[in-house]
Amino acid sequence: MRKKVVAMMMAAALVVSTAACGSSGSSSSSKSESNTGSQAAATSEVANKDKPLVWFNRQPSNSSTGELDKTALNFNKDTYYVGFDANQGAEVQGQMVKDYIEKNIDKIDRNGDGVIGYVLAIGDIGHNDSIARTRGVRKALGTGVEKDGEINSAPTGTNTDGKAAEVQDAELEVNGKKYVVRELASQEMKNSAGATWDAATAGNAIGTWSSSFGDSIDVVVSNNDGMGMSMFNAWSKDNKVPTFGYDANSDAVAAIAEGYGGTVSQHADVQAYLTLRVLRNALDGVDVDTGIGTADEAGNVLSEDVYKYSEEERSYYALNAAVTADNYKDFTDSTVVWKPVSNQLDSSKHPTKKVWLNIYNASDNFLSSTYQPLLQNYDDLLNLDVEYIGGDGQTESNVTNRLGNPSQYDAFAINMVKTDNAASYTAILNQ
């Protein structure tokens, strides 16, 4: 069973605070180095450019090539990224879909034509996580084609004849019988206002696809649960077509009992903890590994099977797990904190600090219904006064305009609209 503990929930509304500034410190740029001798300083004495900064959920990178933005990741000695292992998670999702097809081969080919047809909802063609998930599914099913040394992650549009350049037909042999696996269609789920990962767009897309392809659709795959559940509720649930998502949102996990094929837990409970913990450590002037790989005085510590750290990338990554009909009951509440890091810090040793944190899109299903509630559980445990800012998911200025006075905060946690736009935030802190 998954080890969990219920922590008291704070209200999900945005917090508006004018609390007095606290103090800030520094941490080592390396997980293995200790700087226990560094001293915290009053916020008024720390320049904004030197305050702890965590990028989370959207890793600073080139949206076309995926190349990491090392300038943003090394903005100062207390800058890190927190996310999850996208490639490992992509492999988990792809293998989950393949395993389901093989296990249910006798009934999955709905029209009996020997072709296992699937449709794919792509979240954001310029987002590293979306790219990885698309590649993971195509790799596992054998439909991927190589482009520039990587599996092509571009949408196919419509591919009923199997001739699209972005993918290829694959062959799958189960129980001595051979089947063709074909990506019938895929598209980026971007609405008219420019917001990506859009659930409503996915719901409309499955309506169009089902009208065009009918019972040729045997499997529905989505880059996330928000889009996956929209398609499931709009069409695939009634038509008993297995739908696979990503994020292990509570509604998606519950829907597995109703035919949702499966999802992937990216250990949001561990990610949310890491997002705030690295800030707490920097503010306390202790080794960044405290309460992560090394137990703190309250007993908080993470095991190596739930996260990994890349010193070169200055990034912490939570690891992923498949959530299927076999284990979904262990994941029914996605907002419960991870038990090994659920111990309250002593406020006399870890005084309250002020953190500015934004969610790129207040309507994003995963971030609003899973990630932010978890953050709000952990901020109390870590004695952090967090101001939560919800963006519109479309423009960076909708968020940056609300970082008008960074001097009143001790640290920052940033979730960009686009992975290319780190400079929009660091420019403010450099002023």
* Same domain flag for 302 and 397: yes
Q: Residue 180 above 90 pLDDT?
A: yes
User: Is the domain of 115 the same as that of 211?
Assistant: yes
Name the residue with higher pLDDT: 320 or 3: 320
341-357 mean pLDDT: 98
Same domain flag for 133 and 236 = yes
Statement to judge: residues 162 and 229 lie in one domain: yes
Alpha-carbon distances of 249 from 252, 315, 335, 395, 415, rounded to whole Å: 5, 24, 9, 25, 19
pLDDT at residue 430, rounded to an integer? 97
Residue 274 counted as domain residue: yes
Both 38 and 167 in one domain: the answer is no
* 174: CATH: 3.40.50.2300
Q: Which of 39-43, 320-324, 392-396, 399-403 has the lowest mean pLDDT?
A: 39-43
Residue 260 lies in a domain: no
- Report the SS3 class of residue 1: coil
Query: Is 97 part of any domain?
Result: no
Least confident of 26-35, 198-207, 313-322: 26-35
* Percent with pLDDT over 70 in the chain: 90
The answer on 308 and 232 residing in a single domain is: no
Supply the range of the domain harboring residue 134.
105-241
Query: Quick one: pLDDT band at residue 178, thresholds 50, 70, 90?
Result: very high
Residue 319 within any structural domain of the chain = no
In a domain, 385, yes or no: yes
358: left (phi over 0), alpha (psi -120 to 50) or beta: beta
The mean pLDDT of 98-115, rounded to a whole number, is: 97
CA distances from 182 to 169, 303, 370, 422 (A): 5, 40, 33, 38
The conformational region for residue 248 under phi > 0 = left, psi -120 to 50 = alpha, else beta, is left
Q: How confident is the model at residue 45 (pLDDT cuts 50, 70, 90)?
A: confident
Give a yes or no: residue 125 inside a domain. yes
Q: Which of 100, 96, 105, 99 lies closest to 178, judged by CA?
A: 105
SS3 call for 384: strand
Assess whether 144 and 218 both reside in one domain. yes
The model's confidence at residue 63, banded by pLDDT at 50, 70 and 90, is: confident
Helix axes 86-103, 128-141, angle to 10 degrees: 30
pLDDT at 27: 34
158's CB contacts (< 8 A; 6+ apart) are: 164, 184, 185, 212
Report the SS3 class of residue 244: strand
Is residue 388 in a domain?
yes
Is it the case that residue 41 has pLDDT exceeding 80? Answer: no
The pTM for the full model equals 0.75
pLDDT at 260: 98
Task: Please check whether residues 334 and 217 belong to one and the same domain.
Answer: no
315-318 and 79-84: which strand pairing?
A: parallel
Residues 306 and 195 in one domain: no
Helices (H), 32-163: 70-73, 86-103, 105-108, 128-141
Number of structural domains the chain divides into: 2
In the predicted model, is pLDDT for residue 71 greater than 90?
yes
Could you give the CA distance from residue 360 to residue 166 in angstroms, rounded to a whole number? 30
Residues 79 and 109 in one domain: no
Q: What integer pLDDT is reported at residue 44 of this predicted model?
A: 54
Q: How confident is the model at residue 413 (pLDDT cuts 50, 70, 90)?
A: very high
Minimum mean pLDDT among 61-65, 68-72, 93-97: which range?
61-65
Residues 110 and 76 reside in one and the same domain: no
Pair 391, 308 in one domain? yes
Which residue, 241, 256, 282, sits at the end of a domain?
A: 241
Residue range 135-160, pLDDT digits in tens: 999 999 999 999 999 999 999 999 99
Rounded Cα distance, 1 and 412, in Å: 34
Of the chain, the end-to-end C-alpha distance in Å amounts to 49
| Cα 411 from Cα 317, distance rounded (Å) | 20
Q: Indicate the Cα dihedral angle 105, 110, 113, 114, nearest 10°.
A: -20
pLDDT at 25 over 80: no
pLDDT, tens digit, 9 for 90 and up, residues 292-330? 999 999 999 999 999 999 999 999 999 999 999 999 999
pLDDT at position 375 over 60: yes
- 255 within a domain of the structure (yes/no): no
Q: Is the model's pLDDT at 32 over the cut of 90?
A: no
